[in-house]
Amino acid sequence: MSNKEPIFDVAQLAHVEIYSPKVDETLWFFKDLLSLSETERDGDSVYLRAYEDFYHHSLKVTYRETPGLGHVSWRASSPQALERRVAALEASGLGKGWIDGDKGHGRAYQFTTPDGHPQEILWDVDYYEAPEALKTPLMNRPQKRPTHGVPVRRLDHVNLMCSNVTPNKTFFMEELGFRLREHIVLDGGMEAGAWLSVSPLVHEVAVMGDRTGNKGRLHHIAYWYGYPQHLSDIADILTEQGIQIEAGPGKHGVSQAMFMYVFEPGGNRVELFGDAGYLIFDPDWKPITWTQETLDKGIIWFGSPLPGEYFLYGTPDVSDVAETLVEEEAVPA
Amino acid sequence: MSNKEPIFDVAQLAHVEIYSPKVDETLWFFKDLLSLSETERDGDSVYLRAYEDFYHHSLKVTYRETPGLGHVSWRASSPQALERRVAALEASGLGKGWIDGDKGHGRAYQFTTPDGHPQEILWDVDYYEAPEALKTPLMNRPQKRPTHGVPVRRLDHVNLMCSNVTPNKTFFMEELGFRLREHIVLDGGMEAGAWLSVSPLVHEVAVMGDRTGNKGRLHHIAYWYGYPQHLSDIADILTEQGIQIEAGPGKHGVSQAMFMYVFEPGGNRVELFGDAGYLIFDPDWKPITWTQETLDKGIIWFGSPLPGEYFLYGTPDVSDVAETLVEEEAVPA
Amino acid sequence: MSNKEPIFDVAQLAHVEIYSPKVDETLWFFKDLLSLSETERDGDSVYLRAYEDFYHHSLKVTYRETPGLGHVSWRASSPQALERRVAALEASGLGKGWIDGDKGHGRAYQFTTPDGHPQEILWDVDYYEAPEALKTPLMNRPQKRPTHGVPVRRLDHVNLMCSNVTPNKTFFMEELGFRLREHIVLDGGMEAGAWLSVSPLVHEVAVMGDRTGNKGRLHHIAYWYGYPQHLSDIADILTEQGIQIEAGPGKHGVSQAMFMYVFEPGGNRVELFGDAGYLIFDPDWKPITWTQETLDKGIIWFGSPLPGEYFLYGTPDVSDVAETLVEEEAVPA
Amino acid sequence: MSNKEPIFDVAQLAHVEIYSPKVDETLWFFKDLLSLSETERDGDSVYLRAYEDFYHHSLKVTYRETPGLGHVSWRASSPQALERRVAALEASGLGKGWIDGDKGHGRAYQFTTPDGHPQEILWDVDYYEAPEALKTPLMNRPQKRPTHGVPVRRLDHVNLMCSNVTPNKTFFMEELGFRLREHIVLDGGMEAGAWLSVSPLVHEVAVMGDRTGNKGRLHHIAYWYGYPQHLSDIADILTEQGIQIEAGPGKHGVSQAMFMYVFEPGGNRVELFGDAGYLIFDPDWKPITWTQETLDKGIIWFGSPLPGEYFLYGTPDVSDVAETLVEEEAVPA
């Protein structure tokens, strides 16, 4: 522990925007199967939230010809914290400036990761207000539990593919106050992945090496179930409904997450997170380092392995390159 | 949201000390059934931890003629944060002064709640180091998972009975930076319970009205399972082993916890927490208020009801008073 | 074991008919929440099945002014077995004669229990054929898993209240070949309940003493989930949707079932069965006898207790009598 | 349905004997991790049972230099049924004659499958009697639930590798009265696997094509958990304890089983069965036929794939042959 005190200025992952070339099918996936509800539409965009998300939306789906990441939105811990982070971001050279806001929130400061993933940070948010028919006597739940689909409970995290892990990890730590929780350090010292958080969750953001060498791609967004049975339930339904399950259910060593990866019809990878994982309350946490020697158990503790494409496919897709790489490289690492 | 920024100076519940008149039986309960392991013994005290607790101990069991709370220990977020909280506690008049430390941690500042529950706050802790045979390739787990009992994963929270909820709640908020997450406000405005946290957990501490009017008693400590099946597993075993289950498994509305309450052989109530509950990431959280009208669903959302004694029994026991009250008063509230 | 060989002439519980004064609400409960699908309507009756029921229907809901049991339908093991059972039933004096059939099945032989519960036994059944959109690549599943509600998987058993348990138990054993699996024998020798089956299930039928002294009433029908999590899921939804949960989730000692009892809007009690229980393969099974001394753990092994009304309420309701009895008698037994 | 009535003469899988070259390690696996208890030792053999097995043993482990199947033991439905089956077996030419009995059971008639797997059928069995300390108030459970390991509940089924599936399937059906529940029929009509039962379980025995062309080998024995969480629990522990998990947790389409396959230290494959599967009560069941076109979903409905060795490795091991085949043949089928 250095003498420097930790930064507590970022509170949470507020929402994510993804691009989809097939908005209707993407909505069917999120609304009919994962039970998100639609809050609003605006132009090419649709705003969605899970039934235990408290704000106007946690997901914005916007039409584009190719899938990928629109932006990631972080909520600051206070108005003052927002100002401090904006000052730091401006000084970093990666700030882009303020926007007036969007559906569901007020002004926000835009910036990018070193790799170019669009981000924003904000304070003012609109809270979801359930209509009368959806109000529930469970007063800490913003609306009744949906009676269709296998409802995810809340947005959990985002995983960003990076041409180079280390500077992106450092950026989240230094400019935004994220703590490094776990990382993979290969022989020779190259970081292949890093998991970072501002809360006891192991990660609200992961940065993962893009073996194709591309920049700024999305690996996946993750919604949270909390209960392992719900992973089996949705796996059963997804299989019958023709949705492609890439891997899982299984358990990662890293983050101890019960995972399942699927592709929404627009082409983006979505993780469904099936338990509580473990939580980090230690304020002086020493990051867990997985090495080439220990990595196998870190990737899969038990259950379904990850296919080679897991390490190559992101959105937007660059599969010509990927196909070449699959043959050349051993996977993992 | 006022202009005042939140305080982030307390990081977590570090450990709890309980008194037991039957230390051997208490150890059998925690070690053989809940799978805690013993780290050290010292005089009348035994130090224990769950297999995913990272420090030297999360539970200290000390012999006394009557069961009850020894003390509650909080870990600060940084050495500087510790100094700030000590200054505030001294100013509050409830500070008692520094001790040099105990097995498993360095110097700590002692204080009490307004109701008199012994507390301490500290920074220096000893980390648990697994012996070779218990080292695990799951590198974010401090030791192998026990192969006996139904292992709890970590200490979760403590519930303190108070002669008057409000000043104790306010103390945790103002002197230590806890946020109020949920509370019960009866007709007439009396607070009957409050759930407070320094993290996304709904509570690391609850303060609950003591209907017997006593001060400084312990309602329960809680260990965490995370998975609902493990509540059924331990319920099955506890029933066969003759341990009294007071209530549960069931689901509280407050905190959305799958709960079960049992009495360890020394007489203290222990909650076994069977899922992830919900987590609060909103930095501007409006506390949930349960009223006389909505309270029933708050106490039990579904499953096993709570018996009247739940609201009267604490440690040390004052059951003559309690027996009288059971007849006089409607329960709950 | 006597020299007499066991009778294997009854294969399974085929379907149950219940009466409802509120058919639309009853259908909402079974279709929207438990995910049964409607196969056909005919006059005052609607035919339903769970998604893993293989025949035309497992539930027939018929309009009547008061709730209660329409009839219970058993499927024989072979055409020859049907003839043998009909001969035995005719000889018993409780046979009523053949009907030509009903929607979903061919001719059936009607009879009653000694207490007067209408029953039938049959061989010819119509199999459910999924429409194209509901066909599934899971070839042992008759249709796709529903994507709404918390789908029950199949009809499990029926529980009949009897003015006198013993002759009804004996009737099922002697005329139909049921094996006695467990029973409650009170001090003095009176049987208070008996669980009987023709398969490894602990029961397809239970007969339970009616403390009101009435004859021929229905205690409950049970649908099967298999997974404990689904009991929590449906409990959550039923609570929010305003359906009354009488008791559970909890675990019976008798049959080791994870249970939950709810009232469908028409007034009939429905059990939702939340795990696999235990199965009996021993061909020489010695019935388990629960006595006054051991009964408490038999009724509730852990979790939610049963309210007094559980032992008095059946359909049709006779609540004037019941109310009187609740005050006079200790419950249970 | 032909006019022939079904045969109900075999009631259940009574026990299995396996050979182990490392008896101590095999016992550690079954006793310390799966929580079987040892009933008796005799010469080179140790007798074990799961805590919900009612008889003297469900597993006999006998020392041999190579792992494999000792024998499979079936219990008849009655003494008369035993005589009928012995007559049929003698007529089949595969009967070997009576033995006086073994620890835990009386006289038994020995025979083999057409492929040569040793079998026996018997009526007289010894029931397990719990010592005082293990008696439980849960009167339908033969002993207290173990408080170590992740206890399996009962023996479930056995899977036999056969040089030719069809005659072995036919043998179980015609001589013993098994019903065919599901099978795999490849292009050209060759059966690659068949699942058969005498109860509502989908199988007490499976016969599976041995692609190495060998005869009489054991593919696996299966113990039953019933609850999916316990598969995760034991997977976690097996991984930490260094036991090799071959595949799973995952869900087969065939039989709808949540499966996991592991190798006990003696080299035999053991399946751990993690839920209730589905049960077949239909007395006129039409066998499910999986074809080359539909087989993929039959083998894996979701989750972990099966490695190629799954289709080649059995005990005793013949791995020189297997290694050759892996390269030549596409897997599966």
With 60 as the cut, is the pLDDT of residue D274 above it?
A: yes
Looking at the DSSP bridge assignments, the partners of residue C102 are C105
For an interface test with C, give the residue of D7, D82, D153, D279 to mutate (most C CBs within 10 A): D279
The amino acid at residue B189 is G
What is the phi/psi pair of residue D90, to 5°? -60, -45
Asked if C145 lies within 8 A of A32 by C-beta distance, the reply is no
- In B, which residues are within 8 Å of A139 by CB distance? 253, 288-290, 294, 298
Those of residues 230-249 in B touching chain C at CB distance below 8 A are 232, 235-236, 238-239, 245, 248-249
pLDDT in tens, D278-324: 999 999 999 999 999 999 999 999 998 999 999 999 999 987 654 55
First to last CA, chain D: 31
Q: What pLDDT, on the 0 to 100 scale, is given for residue D319?
A: 76
The CA R_g of chain D, rounded to the nearest whole Å, is 19
Q: Residue B227 is nearest to which of D145, D148, D229, comparing CB atoms?
A: D229
The amino acid at residue D134 is L
Cis? peptide before B332, omega within 30° of 0: yes
With 80 as the cut, is the pLDDT of residue B3 above it?
A: no
What is the phi/psi pair of residue A246, to 5°? -80, -40
Note whether C68 and C18 are within 8 A (CB): yes
Q: What pLDDT, on the 0 to 100 scale, is given for residue D1?
A: 44
What is the phi/psi pair of residue A92, to 5°? -75, -15
DSSP, collapsed to helix, strand or coil, labels residue D68 as strand
With 80 as the cut, is the pLDDT of residue D325 above it?
A: no
- In B, which residues are within 8 Å of D136 by CB distance? 240
Note whether B1 and A127 are within 8 A (CB): no
Burial (CB count within 10 angstroms: exposed 0-12, middle 13-18, buried 19+), residue A171: buried
Distance, CA of C111 to CA of C120 (rounded, Å): 6
pLDDT in tens, A251-284: 999 999 999 999 999 999 999 999 999 999 999 9
Report which DSSP code applies to B24: H
Distance, CA of D248 to CA of D225 (rounded, Å): 14
- How many DSSP H helices and E strands does chain A contain? 6, 18
Q: How big is chain A, counted in residues? A: 333
pLDDT in tens, B287-332: 999 999 999 999 999 998 999 999 999 999 987 655 554 444 433 3
Distance, CA of A110 to CA of A98 (rounded, Å): 6
The amino acid at residue A84 is R
Q: Residue B148 is nearest to which of D136, D147, D236, comparing CB atoms?
A: D147
Distance, CA of A89 to CA of A104 (rounded, Å): 23
Asked if C226 lies within 8 A of D276 by C-beta distance, the reply is yes
3-state helix, strand, coil in chain C (%, to 5): 25, 35, 40
Average pLDDT over residues D204-232: 97
SS (H, E, C) B213-249: CCCCEEEEEEEECCCHHHHHHHHHHHHHHCCCEEEEE
- In C, which residues are within 8 Å of B258 by CB distance? 232
Looking at the DSSP bridge assignments, the partners of residue B182 are B195, B288
DSSP, collapsed to helix, strand or coil, labels residue C321 as helix
DSSP, collapsed to helix, strand or coil, labels residue D30 as helix
Asked if D297 lies within 8 A of C137 by C-beta distance, the reply is yes
Q: Looking at chain A, which residue has its C-alpha nearest residue D227?
A: A229
Average pLDDT over residues A225-234: 97
Nearest to D294 by CA among D161, D186, D164: D186
D324 has a chain A CB within 8 A of its CB = no
B100 has a chain A CB within 8 A of its CB = no
With 50 as the cut, is the pLDDT of residue A333 above it?
A: no
Neighbouring residues of A63: CB distance < 8 A, sequence distance ≥ 6: A19, A20, A21, A23, A44, A45
Q: How big is chain B, counted in residues? A: 333
B neighbour chains, 3+ CB pairs within 8 Å: A, C, D
The residue that leads in pLDDT, A333 or B237, is B237
Handedness of CA D169, D174, D178, D182 (dihedral sign): positive
- In B, which residues are within 8 Å of C301 by CB distance? 236, 239
Note whether C211 and C194 are within 8 A (CB): no
Average pLDDT over residues B132-147: 98
For an interface test with B, give the residue of C240, C259, C304 to mutate (most B CBs within 10 A): C304
Q: Looking at chain A, which residue has its C-alpha nearest residue C150?
A: A147
The residue that leads in pLDDT, D1 or D270, is D270
Distance, CA of A61 to CA of A48 (rounded, Å): 8
B256 has a chain C CB within 8 A of its CB = no
Note whether C124 and C136 are within 8 A (CB): no
pLDDT in tens, B181-237: 999 999 999 999 999 999 999 999 999 999 999 999 999 999 999 999 999 999 999
- In A, which residues are within 8 Å of C137 by CB distance? 239-240
Q: What pLDDT, on the 0 to 100 scale, is given for residue B320?
A: 65
DSSP, collapsed to helix, strand or coil, labels residue C118 as strand
With 90 as the cut, is the pLDDT of residue D2 above it?
A: no
**Read out DSSP for D129-191?**
---GGG--S-TTSSSPPPSBS----EEEEEEEEESSHHHHHHHHHHHH-PEEEEEEE-TTS-E
**Shortest distance, CA B239 to any CA of chain C (angstroms):** 7
Asked if C283 lies within 8 A of D138 by C-beta distance, the reply is no
Distance, CA of C40 to CA of C37 (rounded, Å): 9
ipTM for the whole complex = 0.95
Asked if C33 lies within 8 A of A237 by C-beta distance, the reply is no
Note whether A216 and A116 are within 8 A (CB): yes
Asked if A145 lies within 8 A of C236 by C-beta distance, the reply is yes
Structure tokens at C203: 């029961």
Q: Percent of chain C, pLDDT > 90?
A: 93
Looking at the DSSP bridge assignments, the partners of residue A240 are none
Asked if A5 lies within 8 A of B81 by C-beta distance, the reply is yes
What is the phi/psi pair of residue C170, to 5°? -60, -40
Tell how far CA C192 is from the center of its chain.
17
**Shortest distance, CA B11 to any CA of chain D (angstroms):** 29
**Can you give the residue ranges of every domain in chain C?**
10-322
- In B, which residues are within 8 Å of C229 by CB distance? 228
Q: What pLDDT, on the 0 to 100 scale, is given for residue C4?
A: 85
Asked if C278 lies within 8 A of D141 by C-beta distance, the reply is yes
CATH architecture of structural domain D10-322: Roll (3.10)
Tell how far CA C296 is from the center of its chain.
23
Distance, CA of D201 to CA of D50 (rounded, Å): 19
Asked if D147 lies within 8 A of B147 by C-beta distance, the reply is no
Q: Annotate A317-331 with b (16+ C-beta within 10 A) or e (fewer).
A: bbeeebeebbeeeee
Distance, CA of C127 to CA of D282 (rounded, Å): 10
What is the phi/psi pair of residue D315, to 5°? -120, 135
pLDDT in tens, A278-313: 999 999 999 999 999 999 999 999 998 999 999 999
- In A, which residues are within 8 Å of C52 by CB distance? none
**Read out DSSP for A15-77?**
EEEEEES-HHHHHIIIIIIS--EEEEEETTEEEEE-TT--BS-SEEEEE-SS-EEEEEEEEES
- pLDDT in tens for each of the 333 residues of chain C? 456 899 999 999 999 999 999 999 999 999 999 999 999 999 999 999 999 999 999 999 999 999 999 999 999 999 999 999 999 999 999 999 999 999 999 999 999 999 999 999 999 999 999 999 999 999 999 999 999 999 999 999 999 999 999 999 999 999 999 999 999 999 999 999 999 999 999 999 999 999 999 999 999 999 999 999 999 999 999 999 999 999 999 999 999 999 999 999 999 999 999 999 999 999 999 999 999 999 999 999 999 899 999 999 999 998 765 555 444 443 333
Neighbouring residues of B203: CB distance < 8 A, sequence distance ≥ 6: B157, B181, B182, B195, B196, B197, B255
Q: What pLDDT, on the 0 to 100 scale, is given for residue C330?
A: 37
- In D, which residues are within 8 Å of C255 by CB distance? 140
Burial (CB count within 10 angstroms: exposed 0-12, middle 13-18, buried 19+), residue D63: middle
Residue tagged 């008759």 (tokens): C142
Asked if D148 lies within 8 A of B144 by C-beta distance, the reply is no
pLDDT in tens, D94-130: 999 999 999 999 999 999 999 999 999 999 999 999 9
C304 has a chain B CB within 8 A of its CB = yes
Note whether A268 and A68 are within 8 A (CB): yes
For an interface test with B, give the residue of C232, C258, C297 to mutate (most B CBs within 10 A): C232
The residue that leads in pLDDT, B55 or A328, is B55
Average pLDDT over residues A62-81: 98
D74 has a chain C CB within 8 A of its CB = no
With 70 as the cut, is the pLDDT of residue B88 above it?
A: yes
- In B, which residues are within 8 Å of A279 by CB distance? 199, 201
**Shortest distance, CA A204 to any CA of chain D (angstroms):** 25
**Shortest distance, CA C36 to any CA of chain A (angstroms):** 13
Note whether D211 and D162 are within 8 A (CB): no
Predicted TM-score (pTM) of this structure: 0.96
Residue tagged 């529940």 (tokens): D181
With 90 as the cut, is the pLDDT of residue A325 above it?
A: no
Note whether B73 and B82 are within 8 A (CB): no
Asked if C78 lies within 8 A of D1 by C-beta distance, the reply is yes
Q: Looking at chain D, which residue has its C-alpha nearest residue C1?
A: D78
- In A, which residues are within 8 Å of B153 by CB distance? 278
Average pLDDT over residues B30-56: 98
Average pLDDT over residues B101-109: 98
C297 has a chain D CB within 8 A of its CB = yes
DSSP, collapsed to helix, strand or coil, labels residue A188 as coil
DSSP, collapsed to helix, strand or coil, labels residue C302 as strand
pLDDT in tens, A123-151: 999 999 999 999 999 999 999 999 999 99
